[in-house]
């Protein structure tokens, strides 16, 4: 993968594929089937790898604080707004059902996000897909802090020292997570994703030998059978899932890049990648809308009122279409668009 002056639409298409697969998997729910293993083997790592690929170099604490402000506006504001909407929804439901525990659980989830395992035990509501936003915020903060400290004291091979520190931190989070859970605000899932973020950052700076790429691609199908990855719970098989996720990401990049080139060659296909690119550009509001729809259960409530039988396949399609339509409306509203841009 190479950077260029003009943003390659293949990257947005990759994010579009990943976000659509995320919504699909959350709607269909096939626990650890081959379909589940295939999607989870790369869809969240892909976002982390691409985030690292476009990450900036931060060499001072002034740059660190500037980046922190941008990260907070970009990631924390949509996270908080989404959950404030859910709290309002929970309040309405509490009034209807006379059960104020709903509001309490939404508030606790907002300020004390943890993974699925602990929330299931405690009876709280999970943060849903928005765990990615809060985890990515912590990931970036830790990554840039490691950058600043490393470059202050290391003057040779500093990039690879940064990569090594991120790998060690991720592995530590992998083994610490089940022992110390819960920690507030998704700190450990953010640390667990550092390894993918740092790999994406290294790939953007150095040429990767072909044999390493080949090894990663070969590891991808193997990881489907012998690996297991769930970044929300800091779960991955090291190093198999790491190589496999990188191989899958690169394979998808090749496919998307080829589609872009094919698209430019044949004018009658000029609009073919637009939908995937659009979903990639607006993957953040799609993520937040999917979270609201999942927690609120709006479509499920409409399902019960339909005069005809609504099958599971129909519900899956309706949930995906609803998320995309809502986002299309939101991005055309001037004030709300600023939150989710």
Distances in Å between the Cα of 183 and the Cα atoms of 6, 144, 173, 317 are 40, 21, 11, 35
Question: Which of 194, 277, 207, 197 has the alpha carbon at shortest distance from 11?
Answer: 277
pLDDT band at 30 (very low <50, low <70, confident <90, very high): low
Model confidence at 310: pLDDT above 70: no
Q: Using one digit for the tens of pLDDT, what is the confidence trace for 50-62?
A: 999 999 899 899 9
Answer whether residue 120 shows pLDDT above 50: no
**Which residue has tokens 């299309």?**
328
The answer on pLDDT for 318 being more than 50 is: yes
216 pLDDT exceeds 80?
Answer: yes
- Which has the closest alpha carbon to 272: 281, 259, 255? 259
CA distances from 148 to 84, 212, 229, 317, 333 (A): 34, 29, 30, 46, 38
Average pLDDT, the chain: 82
Token readout for 97 is 């059902």
pLDDT over threshold 90, residue 168 = yes
CB-based burial of residue 97 (10 Å sphere; 0-12 exposed, 13-18 middle, 19+ buried)? exposed
Q: Give the Å distances, CA to CA, from 119 to 127, 230, 269, 297, 312.
A: 9, 15, 47, 19, 26
CA nearest neighbour of 28 among 297, 295, 317, 326 = 317
Contact predicate 1/253, CB 8 Å: yes
Residue in the structure block whose two tokens are 């899956």? 316
Mean of pLDDT values over 77-104: 77
pLDDT at 263 > cutoff 80: no
The pLDDT assigned to 2 comes to 54
Q: State CA 149 to chain mean position distance.
A: 27
Sequence length of the chain is 341
- The partner residues of 246 in beta bridges, in order of sequence, read none
Distances (CA, A) of 220 to 40, 98, 119, 308: 11, 50, 31, 43
| Mean pLDDT, residues 12-19 taken together | 92
State how far the Cα of 12 lies from the Cα of 75, in Å rounded to an integer.
18
Report the C-alpha gap between 99 and 95 in whole angstroms: 7
Average pLDDT (201-221) is 94
Measured between its terminal Cα atoms, the distance across the chain in Å is 25
Under 8 Å CB-to-CB from 82, ≥6 apart: which residues? 130, 288, 291, 292
Which whole number is the average pLDDT over 87-97? 76
Residues in CB range of 196: below 8 A, 6 or more apart: 45, 48, 49, 52, 242, 245, 246
Burial of 333 (0-12, 13-18, 19+ CB in 10 A): exposed
- What share of the chain has pLDDT > 70, as a percent? 78
**Tally of CA atoms within 13 A in the half-sphere of 167 that contains its CB:** 14
Q: What is the dihedral of CA 247, 249, 255, 257, to 10 degrees?
A: -120
pLDDT tens-digit profile of 135-150?
A: 899 999 999 999 999 9
Task: Say what the pLDDT of residue 311 is.
Answer: 66
Measured CA to CA, the distance from residue 203 to residue 76 in angstroms comes to 27
pLDDT value at residue 41: 92
* pLDDT-derived band at 82, boundaries 50, 70, 90: confident
Each residue of 269-303: pLDDT tens digit? 555 568 888 889 889 988 888 888 877 766 656 65
Report the C-alpha gap between 8 and 4 in whole angstroms: 7
Q: Per-residue pLDDT averaged across 167-192, rounded? A: 81
């Amino acid at each position: 993968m190479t950077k260029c002056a003009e943003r390659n639409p293949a990257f947005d298409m990759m994010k579009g594929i990943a976000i659509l697969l995320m919504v699909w998997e959350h709607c269909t729910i096939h626990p650890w089937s081959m379909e589940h293993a295939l999607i989870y083997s790369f869809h969240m790592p892909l976002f982390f790898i691409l985030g690292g690929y476009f990450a900036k170099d931060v060499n001072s604490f002034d740059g660190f604080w500037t980046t922190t402000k941008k990260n907070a506006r970009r990631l924390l504001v949509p996270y908080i707004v989404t959950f404030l909407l859910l709290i309002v929804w929970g309040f309405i439901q509490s009034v209807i059902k006379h059960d104020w525990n709903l509001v309490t659980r939404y508030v606790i989830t907002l300020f004390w996000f943890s993974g699925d395992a602990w929330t299931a035990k405690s009876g709280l509501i999970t943060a849903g897909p928005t765990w990615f936003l809060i985890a990515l915020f912590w990931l970036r903060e830790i990554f840039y802090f490691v950058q600043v400290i490393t470059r202050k004291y290391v003057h040779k091979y500093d990039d690879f020292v940064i990569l090594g520190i991120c790998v060690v931190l991720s592995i530590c989070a992998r083994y610490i997570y089940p022992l110390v859970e819960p920690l507030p605000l998704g700190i450990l899932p953010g640390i667990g994703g550092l390894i993918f973020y740092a790999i994406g950052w290294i790939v953007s700076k150095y040429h990767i030998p072909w044999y390493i790429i080949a090894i990663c691609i070969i590891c991808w199908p193997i990881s489907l059978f012998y690996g297991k990855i769930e970044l929300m719970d800091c779960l991955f098989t090291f190093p198999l899932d790491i190589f496999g996720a990188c191989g899958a990401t690169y394979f998808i990049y090749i496919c998307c890049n080829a589609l872009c080139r094919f698209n430019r060659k044949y004018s009658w296909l000029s609009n073919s990648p637009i939908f995937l690119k659009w979903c990639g550009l607006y993957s953040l509001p799609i993520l937040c809308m999917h979270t609201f729809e999942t927690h609120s259960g709006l479509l499920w409530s409409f399902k019960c009122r339909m005069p005809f039988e609504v099958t599971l396949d129909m519900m899956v399609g309706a949930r995906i279409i609803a998320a995309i339509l809502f986002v299309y409306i939101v991005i055309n509203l001037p004030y709300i668009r600023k939150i989710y841009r």
